[in-house]
C-alpha cells in the first residue's frame, strides 16, 4: 500500500485533500496527516518565520522518516521556501503543493496573475514562479493581488462569498493569460474565475495530485 505523510496548516485542506488523493488513485492510501496551524498563526503574530518555527517544521517533516512513508507532501504554500531548504535533511522525497502549479504557470504564461487570500503566501508564490522563469530563461509579467477578506469569508464558512470576491478581483486583471490561485484553500473559486476571462486558472491541489501520480508512475 502507498504510504504518504502530509503536513497541513489549514483544517479545511486536511478535511479535503487526502480524499482527493485517494479519488485520483482509485485506491486506499495509508496517510499520516499532521495539522500544525501554529506554523502560520505564530508567523502572523511574530511577523516572520522564526527559528522556532523552522525547528517545528523540520520536526514535522521528520515524521515522514519515522513513518517510513514513500513521500512527504506539504500542503501549505506559505511554507514552500522553508520546506525546499530543509528537504536536503530529509531522507524521503518531498513535494510541496504549489511546485507543479508554479512550474506550469511559468511554462505557459506570458502575463501571470497570482491571487492570494493570505499575506504569507504572496511572496513565496511570486518568488517560486520567478525562479521557474529564470530556470527556463523566460521573461513574463507576474503581478499579485491579496484579498484577505476572502479568507475571512472562508473562515466564517461562507464559501460562496469567498469565491465571489476572488472572481470580482480577477476582473481587474483582464490582460492576464494565467491566473494562479495561490493557496489550496482557494480551489473552490476556480470555476468562477475561469468564467471571468480568457485565461488558464491553476490550482495547487489539482497540480500537486498530478505530481504525486507522476511520482508513483501513474498517469
- Are residues 4 and 212 in contact, defined by beta-carbon separation less than 8 angstroms? yes
- Are residues 193 and 181 in contact, defined by beta-carbon separation less than 8 angstroms? yes
Q: How far is CA 26 from CA 2, 19, 96, 102, in A?
A: 12, 10, 22, 26
Q: 73 falls in which pLDDT band (50, 70, 90)?
A: very high
- Are residues 142 and 102 in contact, defined by beta-carbon separation less than 8 angstroms? no
Q: How many CB atoms lie within 10 A of CB 137?
A: 6
- Residues 25-54 have pLDDT tens digits of 999 999 999 999 999 889 888 888 999 999
- Residues 93-144 have pLDDT tens digits of 999 999 999 999 999 999 999 999 998 899 999 999 999 999 999 999 999 9
Give alpha helix (H) positions in 74-158.
Answer: 80-86, 99-108, 119-136, 148-155
Q: What share of the chain is helix, strand, coil (3-state, %, to 5)?
A: 60, 20, 25
DSSP letters spanning 150-192: HHHHHHTT-HHHHHHHHHHHHGGGTT-SEEEE-SGGGGGGHHH
CB burial of 63-82 (b: ≥16 within 10 Å; e: otherwise) equals bbeebebbbbbbbbbbbbbb
- Residues 12-26 have pLDDT tens digits of 889 999 999 999 999
Amino acid at each position: 500500500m502507498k504510504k504518504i505523510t502530509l503536513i497541513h496548516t489549514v483544517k479545511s485542506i486536511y478535511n479535503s485533500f487526502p480524499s482527493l488523493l485517494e479519488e485520483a488513485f482509485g485506491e486506499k492510501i495509508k496517510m499520516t496527516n499532521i495539522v500544525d496551524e501554529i506554523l502560520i498563526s505564530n508567523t502572523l503574530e511574530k511577523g516572520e518565520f522564526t527559528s522556532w518555527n523552522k525547528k517545528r517544521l523540520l520536526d514535522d517533516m521528520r515524521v515522514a522518516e519515522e513513518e517510513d512513508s514513500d513521500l512527504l507532501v506539504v500542503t501549505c504554500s506559505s511554507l514552500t521556501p522553508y520546506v525546499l531548504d530543509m528537504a536536503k535533511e530529509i531522507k524521503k522525497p518531498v513535494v510541496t503543493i504549489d511546485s507543479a502549479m508554479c512550474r506550469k504557470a511559468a511554462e505557459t504564461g506570458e502575463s501571470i496573475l497570482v491571487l492570494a487570500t493570505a499575506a504569507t503566501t504572496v511572496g513565496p508564490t511570486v518568488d517560486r514562479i520567478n525562479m521557474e522563469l529564470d530556470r527556463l530563461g523566460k521573461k513574463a509579467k507576474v503581478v499579485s493581488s491579496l484579498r484577505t477578506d476572502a479568507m475571512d469569508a472562508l473562515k466564517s464558512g461562507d464559501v460562496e462569498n469567498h469565491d465571489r470576491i476572488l472572481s470580482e478581483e480577477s476582473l481587474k486583471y483582464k490582460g492576464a493569460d494565467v491566473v494562479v490561485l495561490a493557496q489550496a484553500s482557494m480551489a473552490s473559486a476556480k470555476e468562477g474565475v475561469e468564467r471571468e476571462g480568457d485565461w488558464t486558472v491553476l490550482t495547487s491541489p489539482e497540480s500537486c495530485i498530478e505530481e504525486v501520480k507522476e511520482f508513483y508512475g501513474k498517469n
